[in-house]
Structure 1
């Protein structure tokens, strides 16, 4: 199906696409939830990815470098731990070098700190 650039196509039901889809303009999706699922393959963008909600990462490896950038006056990173696990662990190779455990104790060079960092 081809739709001319100056025309609209309205679907009142479900659109099932068995092959590839290519969009040359903007894609706006309305509704409560958008799910992209695949057992293989990647999702990529050549521009910026902006999230207005929560980013949930199910894997343990983000890539070579993860960078957070902010230009305003708001907090750039908040970590909330609702259970009993550590809040933060930083590793150099296989060695834990910085830890914040449940309750707020901070360890530098130890994974079992016994005091808050003051």
Structure 2
């Protein structure tokens, strides 16, 4: 009985190659970090993609959801509940109010 080799799907091979990539961190002066982050923002890139562009490396054109994130603890929710005159358990309503504040901030600073 001979063993047959099964070919792996192309997606698996790509994932395997991606898993072999190593993340490299650079300690740069704040001025240089700001410059790279600003260029990335102006170009619609992530800072990582901006660095790849600077280095002349390929950048994957995958759709990205434009979103901002923040971690909120239970204490943060309690503090925001007081600010918005809500209960701390009303996390969805608190998130809506936070979103309104962020939009207001963006409108004010345009």
Q: Which TM class, normalised by the smaller chain length? A: under 0.3
Scaled by the length of structure 2, the TM-score of the pair is 0.23
Scaled by the length of structure 1, the TM-score of the pair is 0.22
